[in-house]
Chains A and B, each alone.
Chain A
């Protein structure tokens, strides 16, 4: 079990808890979509799993080598080319110079950017930047990959394609993925399991399994999207004054 969260809680200073009693088990090689409205502490939860923040209560079990992380904005370094960005991740992991070169090219080809390696981030489109960012997080070579709304800022056409791309890469590499999103369709499209997080405090209130049938049958997927949306709205309505 790569990730186990037990009664996890987090509050900043004396404020109201952001996360309260979060429980979840994530299996090896599983793709879990973490869904919630804004302000539900999704990103905080991801930061805790990544080890960037410490929880204030509860316990968690994560892989000892840490996790790879992909941000909402590609966060590529603008002074490096696409290839150098990936090579930097390899370098900081301690990979030797000759191997870095070949490995970076392999990763670029994996995200279908084999010929764009020498371009700089500002010369790439938003979708291409996110693919370089994905390649960089794969370069970290961690079993666990955490993704914080990585496609939220992209246009719909690009996002649909990147969903296919991410699914393919997930299957090819066998990573365990925790994917945070506020987009119900995206959660249903990608996750094998969708966990719904309530807002203020954040807590896992319900979860749904998404089967292979949902991947090919738009009607079925639409139905599940509707059910989850209704439940999400119920959570949001609780906060009405």
Chain B
């Protein structure tokens, strides 16, 4: 038995106000507005505050400390000669020496500047080309396989050709960077366009977008996550190609970059210098990811609601 049975009389009394879903369910404009706003607040999440997540900073540092400790432990076992496997302190000392000589600053600046300039020019070339290939079927069929092939081809293979064409100049370095970055940015953009839900194009058509408007207002922003992936890969390729070019092509009017530093270390059989150069190249890669691509990607995904449940 229900503890509080509704009196029968009340049921018949309210009967006139009962509305089935078959008829109007609200009693007027104000009532409807109120109902909707109630439902809206029930159905949407309240805003969550973003706090600094310390594990994001502390965990990578802890991982770094652990790796350095393992390294030091291995070196202290004395299995290899110290000049072949220098310890963390030896490398640190070498780095300090290179810093006072100004070589660290010079090589990082030279390489970073080249990498960024080369990358920016690659983006400027690859974006319109990628958009065109993604939108025009015959062009894509004709050039798609070639672009994919170029992406697989290690761009260091272009170094001998570039040296013959351009000599030991910056042009050689940039050429190799372009051949590394451009195909992967184009491919990233194309695969980003391929993953656009067909519905977006239909909406664009219904809203009366012209071909150009469709490309700039619908296709490009919709493809942005894939495009950003392509940019990241393009940066990785241009940085790698740059290092390869700098190691192989030394001298002439080519400035002193990180690859040159690495090559110098090899020439001098100075393992601490080699390790220092490798760590610097690695550090630049990590910093660019942490300071540039990481935040952009996170912001992009959060704005589109794609971040929930990810481990980022």
Interface residues of A (CB under 8 A from B): 50, 52, 66, 68-69, 71, 73, 75, 77-80, 88-89, 91-93, 112-113, 116, 119-128, 136, 140, 156-158, 160-161, 163-165, 167-168, 185, 188-189, 214-218, 221-222, 225
Among A68, A125, A158, A225, find the residue whose CB has the most chain B CB atoms closer than 10 A. Answer: A125
Which B residues lie within 8 Å of A88 (CB)? 207, 217
Chain A to chain B: the 8 pairs with minimum beta-carbon distance, closest first: A122-B305, A125-B43, A221-B22, A218-B20, A69-B206, A78-B304, A79-B221, A92-B207
Which A residues lie within 8 Å of B213 (CB)? 92
B199 and A71 contacting across the interface, CB-CB below 8 Å: yes
A161 and B26 contacting across the interface, CB-CB below 8 Å: yes
Among A71, A77, A93, A188, find the residue whose CB has the most chain B CB atoms closer than 10 A. Answer: A77
B22 and A164 contacting across the interface, CB-CB below 8 Å: no
B208 and A93 contacting across the interface, CB-CB below 8 Å: yes
Minimum CB distance partner of A189 in chain B: B22
Can you give 20 contacting A-B residue pairs, CB < 8 Å? A52-B205, A71-B199, A75-B199, A78-B305, A79-B221, A79-B303, A79-B304, A91-B217, A92-B207, A112-B32, A112-B36, A123-B305, A127-B43, A128-B43, A158-B39, A160-B25, A161-B36, A164-B26, A218-B18, A218-B23
Q: How far is the CA of A156 from the CA of B202 in the complex (A)?
A: 28
A160 and B209 contacting across the interface, CB-CB below 8 Å: no
Q: How far is the CA of A165 from the CA of B35 in the complex (A)?
A: 11
Q: How far is the CA of A113 from the CA of B44 in the complex (A)?
A: 13
Minimum CB distance partner of A188 in chain B: B22
Interface string of B20-46 (1 = CB under 8 A from A): 111111100100110111011001110
Q: How far is the CA of A84 from the CA of B305 in the complex (A)?
A: 16
Minimum CB distance partner of B34 in chain A: A112
B35 and A161 contacting across the interface, CB-CB below 8 Å: yes
Among B24, B205, B221, find the residue whose CB has the most chain A CB atoms closer than 10 A. Answer: B24
Q: How far is the CA of A92 from the CA of B40 in the complex (A)?
A: 29
Contacts A88-B217, A112-B32 given; 8 further ones with Cβ under 8 A? A50-B206, A77-B218, A121-B305, A158-B39, A160-B25, A216-B23, A218-B22, A221-B23
Minimum CB distance partner of B18 in chain A: A218
SS of B interface (majority):
helix
Q: How far is the CA of A189 from the CA of B94 in the complex (A)?
A: 81
SS of A interface (majority):
helix
Question: How close is A81's CB to chain B, nearest CB, in angstroms?
Answer: 9
B44 is contacted by which of A92, A128, A163 (Cβ under 8 Å)? A128
B304 is contacted by which of A69, A122, A136, A222 (Cβ under 8 Å)? A122
**Known A-B contacts A73-B199, A89-B207; A222 and B44 likewise in contact (beta carbons under 8 Å):** no
Question: How close is A113's CB to chain B, nearest CB, in angstroms?
Answer: 8
A157 and B304 contacting across the interface, CB-CB below 8 Å: no
B45 and A123 contacting across the interface, CB-CB below 8 Å: yes
A161 and B218 contacting across the interface, CB-CB below 8 Å: no
Question: How close is B248's CB to chain A, nearest CB, in angstroms?
Answer: 42
Q: How many residues of B contact A (CB 8 A)?
A: 39
Question: How close is A121's CB to chain B, nearest CB, in angstroms?
Answer: 7
Minimum CB distance partner of A165 in chain B: B32
Which B residues lie within 8 Å of A125 (CB)? 39-40, 43-44
Decide yes or no whether B254 CB sits under 8 A from chain A: no
Which B residues lie within 8 Å of A121 (CB)? 305
Which B residues lie within 8 Å of A92 (CB)? 204, 207-209, 213, 217
Question: How close is A97's CB to chain B, nearest CB, in angstroms?
Answer: 14
B40 and A127 contacting across the interface, CB-CB below 8 Å: yes
B23 and A116 contacting across the interface, CB-CB below 8 Å: no
Q: How far is the CA of A52 from the CA of B35 in the complex (A)?
A: 36
Question: How close is B205's CB to chain A, nearest CB, in angstroms?
Answer: 7
Minimum CB distance partner of B303 in chain A: A120
Which A residues lie within 8 Å of B203 (CB)? 71, 75, 77
Which B residues lie within 8 Å of A113 (CB)? 40
Which B residues lie within 8 Å of A128 (CB)? 40, 43-44
Which A residues lie within 8 Å of B200 (CB)? 75, 77
**Known A-B contacts A78-B305, A88-B207; A123 and B24 likewise in contact (beta carbons under 8 Å):** no
A185 and B305 contacting across the interface, CB-CB below 8 Å: no
Which B residues lie within 8 Å of A124 (CB)? 44
Decide yes or no whether B222 CB sits under 8 A from chain A: yes
Among B23, B29, B37, B224, find the residue whose CB has the most chain A CB atoms closer than 10 A. Answer: B23
Which B residues lie within 8 Å of A80 (CB)? 221
**Known A-B contacts A52-B205, A88-B207, A168-B29; A218 and B19 likewise in contact (beta carbons under 8 Å):** yes
Which B residues lie within 8 Å of A66 (CB)? 208
Question: How close is B214's CB to chain A, nearest CB, in angstroms?
Answer: 9
A79 and B43 contacting across the interface, CB-CB below 8 Å: no
